[in-house]
C-alpha cells in the first residue's frame, strides 16, 4: 500500500526512520493518518526532512521508496494552479463587460416600467377623484330633484 512519508533521524536508534503521514485509499483518494514510524536499515541516500512515497506490504515491509517531488509537483499542477492565458483573460473581460451592459439595459428598462406604472397610478387616482366628484354631483342632483318633487 502506498504511503507518503518523511525521512527523520532517530537519534535513540542511531539511524533513520520514515514517519508515515498519509495513506493512499484508492487511485485518487488519500487519507491523513496518525504518524507512524518505520525504521530504515539502508538509508544512505535519504536526507532528513525528505518527502518520499513508500510502498509497504501488509506486514509493513518496505517494498519500494521513491522521492515524492515529482508526485507533489504533479498534484500542484493538476489541482492547485491556474494557468493565466491572455486570451482567456480578454474573453473574460469581454464577458464581464457584456454582463455589465445587459444589467444596465435591464435596470433602465425597470426604471422605465416603474415610471409608466407611477404615471398610470396617478391617472387612476385622477379618474377616481373625477368619478367621486361626478357621483357627488349626481347625488346632489338626485336630492334636489327629490326635494323639488316633494315640494310640488
Q: Mean pLDDT, to the nearest integer, of 25-48? A: 84
Q: Decide: 62 and 54 in contact? Cβ < 8 Å.
A: yes
Helix (H, G, I), strand (E, B) or coil at 48: coil
Q: Which pLDDT score, from 0 to 100, does residue 44 have?
A: 64
> Residue 147: which pLDDT band, with cuts at 50, 70 and 90?
confident
Q: Which pLDDT score, from 0 to 100, does residue 124 have?
A: 97
What does the block give as the cell for 106? 435591464
pTM: 0.52
Residues 55 and 120: their CA atoms lie apart, in Å, by 79
Q: Which pLDDT score, from 0 to 100, does residue 27 have?
A: 85
* Least confident interval from 23-32, 124-133, 142-151: 142-151
Per-position DSSP letters for 87-116, written without gaps between them: HHHHHHHHHHHHHHHHHHHHHHHHHHHHHH
Residues 140 and 135: their CA atoms lie apart, in Å, by 8
Residues 62 and 20: their CA atoms lie apart, in Å, by 12
Amino acid at each position: 500500500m502506498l504511503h507518503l512519508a518523511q525521512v527523520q533521524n532517530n537519534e535513540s536508534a542511531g539511524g533513520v526512520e520514515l514517519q508515515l503521514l498519509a495513506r493512499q485509499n484508492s487511485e485518487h483518494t488519500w487519507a491523513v493518518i496518525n504518524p507512524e514510524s518505520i525504521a530504515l536499515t539502508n538509508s544512505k541516500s535519504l536526507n532528513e526532512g525528505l518527502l518520499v512515497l513508500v510502498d509497504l506490504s501488509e506486514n509493513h515491509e518496505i517494498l519500494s521508496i521513491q522521492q515524492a517531488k515529482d508526485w507533489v509537483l504533479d498534484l500542484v499542477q493538476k489541482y492547485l494552479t491556474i494557468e493565466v492565458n491572455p486570451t482567456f483573460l480578454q474573453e473574460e473581460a469581454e464577458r464581464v463587460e457584456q454582463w455589465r451592459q445587459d444589467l444596465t439595459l435591464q435596470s433602465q428598462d425597470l426604471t422605465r416600467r416603474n415610471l409608466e406604472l407611477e404615471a398610470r397610478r396617478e391617472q387612476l387616482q385622477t379618474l377616481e377623484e373625477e368619478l367621486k366628484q361626478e357621483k357627488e354631483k349626481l347625488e346632489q342632483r338626485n336630492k334636489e330633484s327629490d326635494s323639488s318633487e316633494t315640494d310640488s
